[in-house]
Amino acid sequence: MILKDILIIRQPKTKDELKAMYDLRWRILRKPWNQPRGSERDQYETKAIPYIALLGNEIIGTARFHKINESVGQIRYLAVEEGFRNQGVGSNILMTIHMTALNRFVKYILVNARINAVKFFEKHNYKIIEDGPLLFGEIKHKKMVLKFSKTELRLQKIIESMRKVVKT
């Protein structure tokens, strides 16, 4: 199936978009395990960067990125609406997050990947480090890491030095 509109990945702009994003998170990542509304959020919401994938006015995917420290970022709550999977939506969200991370001088990205998503992350060069948590007593995770390539890190250095030049 080919997406019938232009896919846009960006941050939610309105309260309604934010609400729809949390709803998507909850429906895909929490509801099937009988978790209450509210369980799709955590203590990092205010400092994290949320993303939505839009097809026309419809939000069909989401994910969230936040920095753990100066050089390490983390992705959580990656989810694509069931009818739109395997068409590159998740990959587009991930690539957008990678650009954000590079621009913020992150060197590594961590993710606790649900076992069903491990192959997806492997396709994007994430490597398994160790077993992750067992969520709701049944969803197995693998802790995975993406280390940016030498070329990407070199690019980061160039961006950093250009920013310094602009500031002076």
Ligand X SMILES: CC(C)(COP(=O)(O)OP(=O)(O)OC[C@H]1O[C@@H](n2cnc3c(N)ncnc32)[C@H](O)[C@@H]1OP(=O)(O)O)[C@@H](O)C(=O)NCCC(=O)NCCS
Tell me which residues in 42-81 interact with ligand X (CB under 6 A): 78-80
Alpha-carbon gap, residue 60 to 58, rounded angstroms: 6
Give the nearest distance from C-beta 39 to ligand X in angstroms. Answer: 14
**Residue whose CB is less far from ligand X, 28 or 102:** 28
Q: Which stretch binds ligand X (CB under 6 A): 12-20, 42-50, 108-116, 148-156?
A: 108-116
Nearest CA to 63 out of 33, 89, 88 is that of 89
Closest CB 6 distance from ligand X, rounded Å? 16
- Identify the three-state secondary structure at position 1: coil
Helix (H, G, I), strand (E, B) or coil at 161: helix
CB 52 within 8 A of CB 59: yes
Rule CB under 6 A: say whether 28 interacts with ligand X.
yes
Residues that bind ligand X (CB under 6 A): 28, 78-80, 85-91, 113-114, 116-117, 119-120, 123
